[in-house]
Amino acid sequence: MKLNDTIIRAYKGEATAYTPAWFMRQAGRSQEEYRKLKEKYSLFEITHQPELCAYVTRLPVENYDVDAAILYKDIMTPLPAIGVDVDIKSGIGPVIDNPIKNIQDVERLGTITPEEDVPYVLETIKLLTEEQLQVPLIGFSGAPFTLASYLIEGGPSKNYGLTKAFMYSNSQAWFALMDKLADMTITYVKAQIKAGVKAVQIFDSWVGALNTADYRTYIKPVMHRIFSELQQDDVPLIMFGVGASHLLLEWNDLPVDVIGLDWRTSIEEARSLGVTKVLQGNLDPAILLADWDTIESRTKAILDQSMKDGRHVFNLGHGVTPDIQPETLKKLTDFIHSYSKR
């Protein structure tokens, strides 16, 4: 079975015959097959069953003809291995029963041994990459700041006040926590790469809550360490966050191959700022709830900008929402491929 590696070549900045595309949160949520599964199984139950998890992961490739699959799991997946009691509660999100409050809590965190702690993740990857997929599989992990925000807040937050207060007032504990989470991320992602993923996206979804100076002080060093370590495995590395336009040049400095844009910054704006990396993005998911003429015109605008240098992979500016119709995603993929053919 020959792998369609168009997206990997695009991530490396090579010329491709068309603009490849995939969609964050493409697996699940809006798919009828997935909704039926969720009537019987929780997210954690699905991810713990490799055959079932592989099925959910490959569904969007079969249904939408996208150029990559992204492993179906949650950024919380590795946390129980290091001693975090986490639950995904419907309508709320990740909830932590033992939030971190001090250095002692940080020191109690353990380490991850992926082959022992998350063998189901590695088995899912092997099933997909050795038997089932004709496109590359993207692995992923949450970044330390975003993971820390859940660990400290105890769940989702609107302003990350507790997280920032911890960061500002207890820098020793903060940097110890960053190091613990970085070690976990590096080990976890390297195991995914060894199992067969062909690219890796690091989600720092909520880091846009920090200003640039604080990012440079409290976050950038640990991100540089993570990406430097992962670079050794020679797979494309993607950085993504939401509401983080002010951090684009900081990310451009990191040893990453690709920067994911949300919908707030256009391709042209990113380039004019001096961003030189391959770009990924960045249609507002809400546009996919509009009429097709609007969807097409907004997609054309992104492709017209990105095709000037061709160093682009199409995606949404954030994840697929449950109310987006699967037929719309299929039609969108077809349009991207046909319009961008060179």
Quick check: 46 pLDDT over 90?
yes
Mean pLDDT (whole number) for 308-321: 96
Cα Rg of the chain, angstroms: 19
Question: Is the whole-model pTM more than 0.85?
Answer: yes
* Residue tagged 């992926």 (tokens): 114
At residue 236, φ and ψ (nearest 5 deg) are -60, 140
Mean pLDDT (whole number) for 288-311: 97
Q: Which residues of 160-190 are buried (b: 16+ CB within 10 A; e: fewer)?
A: bebbbebbeebeebbeebbebbbbbbbbbbb
pLDDT band for 91, please (50, 70, 90 cuts): confident
pLDDT band at 109 (very low <50, low <70, confident <90, very high): very high
Place of tokens 């590359």: 136
Q: List pLDDT tens digits, range 217-233.
A: 999 999 999 999 999 99
CB atoms within 10 A of CB 110: 12
| Residue 225 identity | R
159-177 mean pLDDT: 97
Mean pLDDT over 119-146 rounds to 97
Tell me the pairing of strands 86-89 and 93-96. Answer: antiparallel
Helices (H), the chain: 6-11, 32-38, 43-47, 50-64, 103-107, 114-117, 119-127, 144-153, 161-169, 171-195, 212-214, 220-231, 248-253, 267-273, 292-306, 326-339
Q: Determine what percent of the chain is predicted with pLDDT higher than 90.
A: 92
Of residues 60 and 89, which shows the higher confidence score?
60
Q: Which two tokens stand for residue 10?
A: 């695009």
Mean pLDDT on 105-119: 98
What is 6-84+117-141+178-339's CATH number?
3.20.20.210
Which pLDDT score is estimated for 327? 97
pLDDT exceeds 80 at position 1: no
What tokens appear for 54 in the block? 């592989």
